[in-house]
Amino acid sequence: MDAIDRLIMHHTQAGLPLTLEPYQTLAKQLGLDKQELMQRLQAMQDSGQIRRIAAVPNHYRLGYRYNGMTVWNVSDEHINTLGQHIGQLSFVSHCYHRPRHLPDWPYNLFAMIHAKTEPEAEQHIQQIKTVLGDACQEYTVLYSTKILKKTGFRSV
């Protein structure tokens, strides 16, 4: 990713302009050629630097009020296999292997879940628990009580 790619990414994080030719509008703003801008976006998508180009729904505004960070202590030997399974569950929006901080933080698998009601969230948690089985000894769920800042680069 070079300086022009970075410039493009910086200027698309707030969203593409809602104009008839949004890539043309953006290219003009950045002093780039439209074809070059589109080719660069395509190349970044092909290489996986851009995951997808999306109209990104605001889950909270659409009624998903129970957004929990579920964290699990999964045995190291099984985390790769089980992480793949959890990442494929339809209600999981992110699933990551992250380091433990023993003794206070034994959890190494992080999965973000989204639900509209508390019972629905509880069902999701039970489903993850079932998939993990004996490989998981303990877990907890951290609900967000307040969004304090959400700006800049988005990978969600």
> Which residues from 119-138 bind another protein, rule CB under 8 A?
none
Return the number of the residue (31 or 146) whose C-beta is nearest another protein: 146
CB-based contact 151:75 (threshold 8 Å): no
For the CB of residue 32, give the shortest distance to another protein in the complex, in Å: 15
Closest-CA residue to 111 (of 130, 124, 100, 102)? 124
* Tokens (6 digits) for 1: 């990713």
- Phi/psi zone of residue 31: left (φ > 0), alpha (ψ -120 to 50 degrees), beta? left
Q: Which of 30, 69, 131, 135 binds another protein (CB under 8 A)?
A: 69
For the CB of residue 22, give the shortest distance to another protein in the complex, in Å: 6
CB-based contact 28:105 (threshold 8 Å): no
Q: Residue 80 in 3-state DSSP?
A: helix
Question: How many Cβ atoms from other residues are within 10 Å of residue 132's Cβ?
Answer: 23
77 binds another protein (CB under 8 A): no
Return the number of the residue (134 or 153) whose C-beta is nearest another protein: 153
CB-based contact 108:100 (threshold 8 Å): yes
Q: Which stretch binds another protein (CB under 8 A): 47-55, 122-130, 131-139?
A: 47-55
- The alpha carbons of the chain give a radius of gyration, in whole angstroms, of 19
For the CB of residue 137, give the shortest distance to another protein in the complex, in Å: 18
For the CB of residue 108, give the shortest distance to another protein in the complex, in Å: 8
Residues 14-43 touching another protein, rule: CB under 8 A, are 14-16, 18, 20-24, 34, 38, 41-42
Q: Which of 63, 119, 137, 138 binds another protein (CB under 8 A)?
A: 63
* Tokens (6 digits) for 112: 């973000």
103 binds another protein (CB under 8 A): no
